[in-house]
Amino acid sequence: MHKEIEPKIMYFGTPVVLISTLNEDGTPNLAPMSSAWWLKNFCLLGLGKLGKTFENLTREKECVLNLPSSEMVAEIDRLACTTGKNPIPEYKVNMGFEYVPDKFGRAKLTPIESQTVKPPRVSECPVQLEAVVENIHNVGGTNSSLAAIEIRIVRSYFDEKILSSEKRHYVDTDKWHPLIMSFCEFYGLGHNLHPSRLAKVF
Ligand SMILES: Cc1cc2nc3c(=O)[nH]c(=O)nc-3n(C[C@H](O)[C@H](O)[C@H](O)COP(=O)(O)O)c2cc1C
């Protein structure tokens, strides 16, 4: 039996991405997000336009997409309800958000220099993708507060610990444990379910 409901959110379970961007004064900002999907070396990010990350991406056109492992859940949760935007947008004040200028310090994470873009990578993240903004699309009309940001990945770094020992340039999916957000709750992935026919051809 199905019930018709009007869900407040539709976050069905996607990996968390920690985006580092550069503030106007040259310091880094760091924000967790999970509305991201991937297409070859492109990524589409669903972001609120009132956040510091959106402001920085619009101005600088550069970022690093850092993918945390499930073991990093405590660090990610420390960044929940924080913003690098000052003053804090009214709707976030009402939700109890806090202005935090040093997000790396708050999360207890380490910035390391990137090679092709100015924002730093997050040293502890097993996947670090340096990227540039190609396009910014409005979602829900010009006056809406949501955007889809088209990102092109220019350089990728993967921790050796998650790489396949047999096939170069491949991730060993038994070693990669992404942090998943499902309806605002944190999860890890379960075990491998079934041999994949698609994996055989790629
Ligand atoms: C795990 C997690 C996932 C999130 N996913 C998104 C998202 O997909 N899109 C978005 O706009 N905000 C998302 N947020 C909320 C942003 O992190 C929040 O708006 C934050 O204030 C942005 O920081 P900034 O203003 O410094 O950019 C998420 C927060 C958490 C903790």
In a domain, 54, yes or no: yes
The predicted model gives 1-9 an average pLDDT of 96
Q: How confident is the model at residue 31 (pLDDT cuts 50, 70, 90)?
A: very high
In a domain, 5, yes or no: no
| Residue 81 φ/ψ, nearest 5 degrees | 60, 30
The predicted model gives 28-53 an average pLDDT of 98
The tens digit of pLDDT for each residue in 154-177 reads 999 999 999 999 988 999 999 999
| Residue found by looking up tokens 């990010």 in the block | 45
Q: Which residue, 69, 68, 84, is CA-closest to 21?
A: 84
The tens digit of pLDDT for each residue in 45-99 reads 999 999 999 999 999 999 999 999 999 999 999 999 999 999 999 999 999 999 9
How many other C-beta atoms are found inside a 10 Å radius of the C-beta of residue 26? Answer: 7
Instruction: Please report the pLDDT score of residue 142 as a whole number.
Output: 85
In a domain, 70, yes or no: yes
% of the chain residues with pLDDT over 90: 96
Instruction: Please report the pLDDT score of residue 48 as a whole number.
Output: 97
Q: How big is the CA angle at 55 (ends 66 and 88), to the nearest 5 degrees?
A: 100
Instruction: Please report the pLDDT score of residue 118 as a whole number.
Output: 98
Q: How many domains does the chain have?
A: 1
> Would you say the CB of residue 83 lies under 6 angstroms from ligand 1?
yes
> Would you say the CB of residue 181 lies under 6 angstroms from ligand 1?
yes
In a domain, 136, yes or no: yes
Instruction: Report the b/e string of 139-170 with b at 16+ CB within 10 A.
Output: eeeeeeebbebebebeeebbeeebbeeeeeee
* Alpha carbon of 46 to ligand 1 centroid (Å): 10
Domain CATH code at residue 124? 2.30.110.10
> Would you say the CB of residue 95 lies under 6 angstroms from ligand 1?
no
- Range of the structural domain that residue 108 is part of: 15-201
In a domain, 103, yes or no: yes
In a domain, 71, yes or no: yes
Instruction: Give the pTM.
Output: 0.97
Instruction: Please report the pLDDT score of residue 202 as a whole number.
Output: 85
The residue whose CA is least distant from atom 6 of ligand 1 is 33
> Would you say the CB of residue 35 lies under 6 angstroms from ligand 1?
yes
Instruction: Please report the pLDDT score of residue 139 as a whole number.
Output: 96
Instruction: Please report the pLDDT score of residue 187 as a whole number.
Output: 98
